[in-house]
Amino acid sequence: MAKKIIYDLSDILELLPHREPFLFVDNIIEFKPNKKIVATRYLRHDEPHFKGHFPSEPIMPGVLMTDALAQTSGLLWGFTKKETKGTSDDQECSIFYLASDQMKFMKPVNPGMTLILESVFLESFGALYKYKVAAFVNNITVAKGFITLAIQKQEGK
């Protein structure tokens, strides 16, 4: 049984600066403010990276799975601010960058699959936010690790 969509693509586009072809989150199906978020991403056959990343047996590059998990983690922060009435100034004037990652990839991910992206907030120190992340396909872990995001105030805003 499919989970109910809590936030859809229009909500995600309000928070993330990413756009196609570098937007890797379709919707949010679970959310606990400042604790955990679960997102989905359906991998379409026409995505540009599949054309050149092992064309005879296309797989999603690990770096793009890492980016999908980083985007999911950034959404945990953004939707937490939105739901806990964080200042709009905080949200509109801040951007996250992937500062570090420690990832392990267990299985290849192919077009036609749906990634389930999970991020759990661990801690923050200064402008750095650390998350435990994992990606699943059909309840099988395909990637897992830790991601640290760095928040930066945007100049001139």
Annotated catalytic residues are 53
Query: What type of residue is 47?
Result: E
Measure the CA–CA gap between 11 and 24, rounded to whole angstroms: 14
SS3 sequence of the chain: CCCCCCECHHHHHHHCCCCCCCCCCCEEEEEECCCEEEEEEECCCCCHHHHHCCCCCCCCCHHHHHHHHHHHHHHHHHHHHHHCCCCHHHHHCEEEEEEEEEEEECCCCCCCCEEEEEEEEEEEECCEEEEEEEEEECCEEEEEEEEEEEEEECCCC
